[in-house]
Structure 1
């Protein structure tokens, strides 16, 4: 196959959750997935290993936050991370046994592209909100540019906390 012909996953402001450490980990996650998507056949094993290393560290960090803050949905959240890592390791095993089956790694990359926004929007946003609530007494504030007018912040009333959020 060589190099795939696709648009790689790119960071979007909509992924911001307002918890800086998590946002930074998510930016790295997106970069690792993009590298996996665009890897040549010769680069694929190394890109998959780099993604696995990132995911192990990223998920362990989130688990520490959850356990350290008594996050109510820890078990469900950690279980989802375990399933992602199990899929990554299964693909690595397939590639070791049959290196010509590189498409399975490309399919995994697409599955990660499809999975991440929903996971971030629901599970990670809940964790971000929980962490901010416990640390600061309110939801995180995220300023996003209005896509119709790039220089205008997108500000809305947040009904889950007091006042205005962005």
Structure 2
């Protein structure tokens, strides 16, 4: 069984992203604890993780588009694949009571998330900083420039 706790190693020095990531890690801990309880609580915990992740990824997608990222990029593709898997597992838990598959998803998320945060999300945070992108106020963000994006993409 894998575990994941919030630590400074997951922090990216982008306050909104860090707060969202911290919440994700906390929800994973709640999900982990739910494996020891009734299946209905497990379903509720997994549903909370899925709901959070939908908003979490939508927030990052909004930022990427606001900075001029192509709509079809590897970061967005990975988000789509993770959400697809989460929805499929939640459906299997609801329909078939497949706790084993839900546990496998949990274990995979615990392994996937730190790597995703250290690579794709860290690059996004760095790009946000270099472009002076203010996520709380997208109107203050300078218009995307191909050269600015090229610097972030390399």
TM (norm. structure 1) is 0.73
- Stretches of structure 2 that go unaligned for 5 or more consecutive residues are 134-154
Match of 1:11 in 2: 6
Is the counterpart of residue 106 in structure 1 residue 103 in structure 2?
yes
Q: Distance in 2 between matches of 1:27 and 1:71?
A: 25
Q: CA deviation at 1:96?
A: 2.1
The count of residues paired between Structure 1 and Structure 2 equals 130
Task: Give the direction of change, closer, same or farther, for the CA distance of 1:74–1:132 in structure 2 (3 Å limit).
Answer: farther
Deviations along 1:16-51, whole A, 9 cap, x unmatched? 101100000100110111111111233110001100
Is the counterpart of residue 29 in structure 1 residue 24 in structure 2?
yes
Q: Distance in 2 between matches of 1:41 and 1:128?
A: 39
Moved over 3 A (4+): 71-74
TM (norm. structure 2) is 0.79
CA RMSD in angstroms, aligned pairs only: 1.7
Q: Which has the higher helix share?
A: 2
